[in-house]
Amino acid sequence: MNTALPLPPPDRRAWPWPPLVKASAALHGGAAALALLPGGWPWALGAVVADHALITATGLWPRSRGLGPNVTRLPSSRPEVAITIDDGPDPDVTPAVLDLLDAAGARASFFCIAEQARRHPALLREVVRRGHSVQNHSDRHRHGFSLLGPRGIAQEVGRAQALLADLSGRAPHAFRAPAGLRNPFLDPVLHRLGLHLVSWTRRGFDTREADPARVLQRLTQGLGAGDILLLHDGHARRGAAGRPVVLDVLPALLQRCRDAGLRPVTLDEALPARHAPCP
């Protein structure tokens, strides 16, 4: 097994409560007091239900910041973009993705599922060997990730963090929630582990769209400096000929980046540590 750099110690600073979460906690306290008043319980129940609906909707919006910090664009104004590739490593798709990136001299960030990395450790190391970064996409990519409690989320993120650090030799410093869905219990875990939550500027929906031209259009319409673009090597949709759509989209996307004077960089290059000031 690869000799990993030691994981950084957990951050012991107090988690900075987001304003929406603070307001939700205060509302629950007020609702409890209101419920004790004559005729107050229906109003208290209605307020709590409305609050839970708002919190749930915020967690179901992948680019929202209501539940904590969320990187949707690179912090620098340099002519750079981040190409992020989710759900691998996949032995049928990832090697071809790596070859396409090599041919273009481009670097990408792979948000890897730890369960997949356990199955294909040599492939994960190959991603790193070729100069790309490995980031945390949870242990098992559970469809019910956003329904987990504090312990379940800590296990999903923490197990993946430890395994990916061990296999790659470097601890990830970015996390992407499965499907981008989350709940208020996620950010305290990310804060403790020093992980950025990273979503995207735009996505191609290449897990369900079989037409490479449509995927490319979604990714490149308004393409500009600082964009974070989302593709998939795992769960990749295949076109009519059985070829993963990402393999047809990626060369054209890289050419569009070159034409626009944009350099693909990894998230390791573009993002400081979570608890460090941005440049």
Residues 50 and 108 in one domain: no
Give me the pLDDT at residue 3, please: 46
Residues 33 and 162 in one domain: no
Per-residue model confidence as pLDDT tens for the chain (279 residues): 444 455 666 666 788 888 888 888 888 888 888 888 888 888 878 888 897 888 899 988 999 999 999 999 999 889 999 999 999 999 999 999 999 999 999 999 999 999 999 999 999 999 999 999 999 999 999 999 999 999 999 999 999 999 999 999 999 999 999 999 999 999 999 999 999 999 999 999 999 999 999 999 999 999 999 999 999 999 999 988 899 999 999 999 999 999 999 999 999 999 998 875 444
Q: Select from 166, 161, 163 the least CA-distant residue to 176.
A: 161
Is 71 a domain residue?
A: no
Q: What φ, ψ does residue 278 adopt, rounded to 5°?
A: -70, 145
* Predicted model pTM: 0.90
- Please count the CA atoms within 13 angstroms of the CA of 211 that sit on its side-chain side: 4
Is 276 a domain residue?
A: no
Residues 36 and 117 in one domain: no
126-143 burial by CB neighbour count: b if 16+ within 10 A, else e?
Answer: ebbeeebbbbbbbbebbe
Which residues form the domain of 145?
A: 80-270
Residues 35 and 93 in one domain: no
Q: Helix, strand, coil % (nearest 5) of the chain?
A: 45, 15, 45
Q: Select from 216, 231, 263 the least CA-distant residue to 90.
A: 231
Q: Select from 174, 135, 170 the least CA-distant residue to 2.
A: 170
